[in-house]
Structure 1
Amino acid sequence: MAFDLTLRQLRYFAAAAQTGNFSMAAANEHVSQSAITNAVLALESGLGTRLFERLPQGVALTPEGQDFYNHARRVLDAARDAVHKPPFRSHDMRGTVRIAASYTVLGYFLPELLARFRATYPFIEFDLRDMERVDIERAVHDGDVDIGVVLLSNIEKLSRFGSQVLIRSRRQLWVAPSHPLALVDAPSLKDIAAHPYILITVDEGEQSTLRYWKKKGIAPNIAFRTSSMEALRGLVAHGFGVTVLSDMVFRPWSLEGNRIEARPVLDAVPQMDAGMIWQKGAQLNSPATALQQFLIHACGT
C-alpha cells in the first residue's frame, strides 16, 4: 500500500541511521528529538516493518532498515545533485582527472560518487589508479596524481597536503545473531577480547585496529587474519569470531546470505576518516577542481 513519503522524513531517518542515536541526529539536523522520532515512526508504519532496534545506548538498523537506508541514501543523493550548481559548472567541460585510491575507498566509497560526477560532467575522463596509501601520498606530493582518496586517519603528517574529510564512519562490533555478544547491547573491548577475533589486514587494518586496542591496554584474541573482506564476513556470519569495523564497509549479510549484526562498542573507539588529499599550494586544473568541489558537496562536508 502506498503512503506519502517526504524528503524530510528520509533525511531524518538517514541522520538517525548514521549516528545511531535519535538525540544526536536531532542535534545534527537542528530539530527536536521528537521530529526525528515521528519521522521514523511514520516510515515504519507506512512500510509495515521495523527499521531500527531500540537499544539502551541508541538505535541500530535492522536488516530491513539497512536495505531501506541504502535506497533512502540514493534518493537523497539524487536530490542533492539536482540542485548542485557550482559557479564553475559546465556540462561540456573536457579533460582528465588523475585519481588514486586505496582498497577500502575504491571498493566501498568512491565508485558511486564517480558515477554521480560523470552524470554531471559526461566528457571528463578518469585516470583511476588502485594504489597503497604510502604510494598515493608520494604520487600526490610529486604531482603525478591530482587527487588521492584515502583513509586520512592513517596519514601521519596530513599537514603536508591540502586535505578534506569526506566521511567520518564509526566503528562497531560485527557479530552473528547467534553469538553470545549479540545479546549485549554495547559490549566493551574487554568483553570482545574474551572471544575469537577476525582481523582484517588490508588498507593498514591491522595497524589501525591494534593501535586503539593497545591504548586501552587490552589485546584482541586474534583467531584469523585475512585481507579478504568477504572471507571476514563469512567467518563472522558463521560464528567463528567477531570483528570491529567501520559502518562504511558494513553489510548485514555474508556472501552466502547469512546475517551479520552490528553493535556499538562501549569504549571510545576512533572513527575512520576517509577523504581527499592534493598537492599543497598547487593549482588544480578545471576537471580536478570540479571533482574536488563535487565530492565536498556530495558528501555534505
Structure 2
Amino acid sequence: MKSEVTLRQFRYFIAAATSGQFSTAAVSANVSQSAITSAVQSLESQLKVRLFERLPHGVVLTPEGQVFFHHARHVMDSVNDAMRHASLLPQTATGTIRLAATYTVLGYFLPDLLSRFKRSYPQVEIDLVDMDRAALERALADGTIDLGIGLVSNIDVGQRYGHRMLVRSRRRVWVGASHELARQASVTLDDVQQCSYILLTVDDADTAALRHWGQGDAKLKIAMRTSSLEALRGLVAYGFGVSILSDLVYRPWSLEGKKIMAIPISDAIAPMDVGLLWPKDKEPSGLADIFRQFLIDACDSDGESLAASTGHLSTARSRRIGGKGA
C-alpha cells in the first residue's frame, strides 16, 4: 500500500532545500541527519523523481525539486496561516495600506506574502509602490507611506525610523558550472578577487560588493555592470564572471537553462537583511499594524525557509541589523 505523505516530510524537505545541506537541515529541525535523508528519499520514491542534486559541498534542488518545493511551501504556508487564524472566521477589515518596497524585496520576497495576506483579509487594498532606497526614505520622512520594506542594513535606522527585521539571507559566490571555482567546497574573498566579476548595480549591491573586502582597496576585475539580475544570471552561467549575492535572489538556473552554482565563502561576510520600516513618530496603527504583525508572524513561523519560498536559499533569521545590498 502506498504510504501517506506527512507534513513532517514536507518540513524536513523544506529545511534541506533552504539550508543546502542535510546536516544543517538536521540541526535546524532538531532531528538526526538520517531523519532528513529518509524523508527526502521517501518523497523521491513516491514522486519517482530526484528532488536534489548531490554536490561535494551540499545539495541543490533539481528542476523537479524546485517545482515540488513551491507546492510544499504553499502547503506549509496554508497550515501556518490556518493555525494563526484559529477562529477561522472571515476577516472583514476594509481600507487601504500604503506600502513601499525596494526592487529586491518586491521581486523576490513580497509577492507570496501579499497573496497570503489577501487570502486572510480579502477586502483590504494594498497601495504598493516600487521605490529605490532614497525615495523610500523620503516617503517615510514625509509620511506618505504607512510602511516600507527594504534592505534595512542599507539604511542608517538609528533613531530615525521604527524597524523590525524580517529575514536574514547569507551571501555566496555564484559561478557557472564549468567555472574553476565550481569544483571547490568553499572559496575565499581572495579567490573571488582573482576572477572576472559581474557587478550588480541595483539596491546598492555594487556598494555591498566592495564592502566585502572591508576598508581595503579592493581591486575587482569588473567584467560588466548591470542592473538586471536575469542578465547577471546569464553572464555567470555562461562563465563570463562570478558574483557575490544573497540566497534570497538565488536560482540554480539561468533563463537559458544553464546551471549556476552557489559556493560558500570561508571568510566572514555580512548577510543581507530585509526588514520593515515606519516613521519613528508614527507607530503603525489599524490596518498598517495588522499587516506589520502579519509579516512578523509569517516570517517567524516560516523559520529559515521564507526566503526560499520564491525559489532561493536562505540562512537562519536573526534580529540584528547588518549587511548591505543584494
**TM-score, normalised with respect to structure 2:** 0.83
Query: Is residue 151 of structure 1 aligned with residue 155 of structure 2?
Result: no
Structure 1 position 159, deviation (Å): 4.3
Match of 1:227 in 2: 227
Native 8 Å contact 1:60 1:263 kept in 2: no
Q: Distance in 2 between matches of 1:50 and 1:29?
A: 19
Would the alpha carbon gap of residues 23 and 183 (structure 1) be closer, same or farther in structure 2, given more than 3 Å must change? closer
Structure 1 position 216, deviation (Å): 7.2
Native 8 Å contact 2:52 2:59 kept in 1: no
Would the alpha carbon gap of residues 274 and 73 (structure 1) be closer, same or farther in structure 2, given more than 3 Å must change? same
Match of 1:165 in 2: 165
Query: Is residue 240 of structure 1 aligned with residue 240 of structure 2?
Result: yes
Native 8 Å contact 2:177 2:260 kept in 1: yes
Q: Specify which structure has the bigger relative contact order, considering alpha-carbon pairs within 8 angstroms and separated by 6 or more residues.
A: 2
Q: Distance in 1 between matches of 2:6 and 2:20?
A: 21
Match of 1:249 in 2: 249
Query: Is residue 49 of structure 1 aligned with residue 50 of structure 2?
Result: yes
Structure 1 position 217, deviation (Å): 6.6
Match of 1:111 in 2: 111
Q: Distance in 1 between matches of 2:2 and 2:221?
A: 49
Native 8 Å contact 1:52 1:65 kept in 2: no
The 5 Å alignment of 1:62-141 reads 62-85=62-85, 91-141=91-141
Native 8 Å contact 1:166 1:273 kept in 2: yes
Query: Is residue 177 of structure 1 aligned with residue 181 of structure 2?
Result: no
Native 8 Å contact 1:195 1:241 kept in 2: yes
Structure 1 position 94, deviation (Å): 0.5
Match of 1:298 in 2: 298
Structure 1 position 108, deviation (Å): 1.1
Would the alpha carbon gap of residues 50 and 126 (structure 1) be closer, same or farther in structure 2, given more than 3 Å must change? closer
**TM-score, normalised with respect to structure 1:** 0.90
CA RMSD of aligned residues (A): 2.4
Q: Distance in 2 between matches of 1:265 and 1:66?
A: 24
Percent pairwise identity: 51
Native 8 Å contact 1:60 1:262 kept in 2: no
Would the alpha carbon gap of residues 15 and 9 (structure 1) be closer, same or farther in structure 2, given more than 3 Å must change? same
Would the alpha carbon gap of residues 132 and 201 (structure 1) be closer, same or farther in structure 2, given more than 3 Å must change? same
Structure 1 position 107, deviation (Å): 1.1
Q: Distance in 2 between matches of 1:224 and 1:147?
A: 35
Greater CA drift, 22-31 or 131-140: 22-31
